[in-house]
Amino acid sequence: MKQLEDKILREGVVLPGDILKVGSFLNQNIDTTLLADMGSEIARLFDGQGVTKIVTIEASGIAIAAAAGIAMGVPVLFAKKHKSSNVDGSVYSTVVHSFTHNEDYNVVVSRDYLSADDHVLLVDDFLANGKALEGLIDLVDQAGATLTGVAIAIEKCFTGAGDRMRGQGVRIESLAAIEAMSEDGIVFRS
Amino acid sequence: MKQLEDKILREGVVLPGDILKVGSFLNQNIDTTLLADMGSEIARLFDGQGVTKIVTIEASGIAIAAAAGIAMGVPVLFAKKHKSSNVDGSVYSTVVHSFTHNEDYNVVVSRDYLSADDHVLLVDDFLANGKALEGLIDLVDQAGATLTGVAIAIEKCFTGAGDRMRGQGVRIESLAAIEAMSEDGIVFRS
């Protein structure tokens, strides 16, 4: 998606440790014009695939998932990162390791909101090491739901995680796919 | 907003401790048709007020803020609940007490994304004791920005927090305002 790639080139900042800072428009401050366009693009990519539910993970995936959900007219379910007192005991749960915070956390969704009848589109802001995405796929499997595909705003292709999952038959669409990045520049997958 | 009130009456569950569970359509599973309509209603309420930025707090405020931001064509900034390694050291920061989890946490936004030129609309899913909202107002004050107003999905009027803040001159618009609730029923402010 050229509009997102251009924004990354203009405003993204590459930091040591393969961090791409996009807080100015994607995951802290949100450019809502771009956000709506990203939602429309995800809707276009998965048009006619029978998606019944979008699933994402708090917090930075929520805005993109909401924009896609509005564009597609399907509900959005967000997995929570710890068991809140507002969630019933009957949850699907998995453990995800965060390299950013160097800790494991529980990712849960209520069994009430995900069922074997659902055809799920997973949406998140980043795909890097794939741990969060694997956790969400585990929740979809636990529910007996069908995984239709995955929509990602920015994929760090150089980790290999996205291509490894594609090799396992998961359809992954990334709006911006980064082959290589450094302080000298960013190269997108063509 | 009658559409939201009707949804609360149909699907909301009142639990002991003045908890209103709306996970089926608002803060875990999200009805995106209702979400888009809530965004449009917030845009209508604050039309012509010169809002330059919507500010919310992760995680459950993000979807509503995103819908309002798309409808109003203004960016959305979300405050984070702990200092992430992806946020620079130069942040506005305040401490908020969570009664749900019975702990204090830091709420931060980067100084890069909020300035004295901003006219801010605060958006959140719930207004109950007002602690999260007071924290966001503190961040707006620290930035020297102008507080245009507050848009809330569901206000628990019986806490008195919203009316106390209105008494201090804050414009607060709640899409559903609950005067009283129990397992026997919910009474909205007329």
Q: For A9-42, what is each residue's pLDDT tens digit?
A: 999 999 999 999 999 999 999 999 999 999 999 9
Q: What is the pLDDT of residue B99?
A: 75
Q: Say yes or no for a CB contact (<8 Å) between B67 and A66.
A: yes
| Alpha helix positions (H), chain A | 2-11, 32-45, 62-72, 131-143, 161-167
Query: pTM of this prediction?
Result: 0.94
What would be the CATH architecture of the domain defined by A2-83+92-185? 3-Layer(aba) Sandwich (3.40)
Q: Pick the residue with more confidence: B173 or B99? A: B173
Q: What is the pLDDT of residue A139?
A: 97
Q: Say yes or no for a CB contact (<8 Å) between B77 and A110.
A: no
Quote the mean pLDDT of chain A.
Answer: 94
Residue located via tokens 């997108």: A188
Residues A52-70: pLDDT tens digits?
A: 999 999 988 999 999 999 9
Band of the pLDDT at A82, cuts 50, 70, 90? confident
Residues B26-79: pLDDT tens digits?
A: 999 999 999 999 999 999 999 999 999 999 999 889 999 999 999 999 999 999
Residues A34-54: pLDDT tens digits?
A: 999 999 999 999 999 999 999
Minimum distance, in Å, between the CA of residue B168 and any CA atom of chain A: 28
Minimum distance, in Å, between the CA of residue A145 and any CA atom of chain B: 16
Instruction: Identify which of A70, A78, A85 has the shortest CB distance to residue B28.
Output: A78
Q: Say yes or no for a CB contact (<8 Å) between B28 and A110.
A: yes
DSSP secondary structure string, B142-179? HHT-EEEEEEEEEEEGGGSHHHHHHHTT--EEEEEEEE
Q: Is the pLDDT of residue B181 over 80?
A: yes
Q: Say yes or no for a CB contact (<8 Å) between A84 and B73.
A: no
Task: List all residues 6 or more positions away from A137 whose beta carbon is below 8 Å from its beta carbon.
Answer: A122, A147, A170
Structure token digits, residue A145: 């739901």
- Name every chain B residue with its beta carbon within 8 A of the beta carbon of A87: 23, 28
Q: Say yes or no for a CB contact (<8 Å) between B30 and A58.
A: no
Task: List all residues 6 or more positions away from A47 whose beta carbon is below 8 Å from its beta carbon.
Answer: none
How far is A77 from A164, CA to CA, in rounded Å?
A: 26
Please count the CA atoms within 13 angstroms of the CA of B127 that sit on its side-chain side.
Answer: 32
Which ipTM score applies to this complex? 0.93
Each domain of chain A, given as residue ranges in start order, spans 2-83+92-185
Interface with B, mutate which of A29, A53, A55, A126 (most B CBs under 10 A): A29
Q: What is the pLDDT of residue B90?
A: 84
CATH number listed for the domain at residues B2-84+91-183: 3.40.50.2020
Q: What is the 3-state secondary structure (H, E, C) of A139-168?
A: HHHHHCCEEEEEEEEEEEHHHCHHHHHHHC
Q: Is the pLDDT of residue B83 over 70?
A: no
Residue type, B165: M
Do B118 and B148 contact (CB within 8 A), yes or no?
no
Band of the pLDDT at A160, cuts 50, 70, 90? very high
Q: Say yes or no for a CB contact (<8 Å) between A70 and B74.
A: no
Q: What is the pLDDT of residue A85?
A: 45
Q: Is the pLDDT of residue B13 over 70?
A: yes
Count CB atoms within 10 A of the CB of residue A142: 15
Q: What is the pLDDT of residue A81?
A: 86
Our measurement of the distance from residue A2's CA atom to the centroid of its chain's CA atoms, rounded to an integer in Å, reads 19
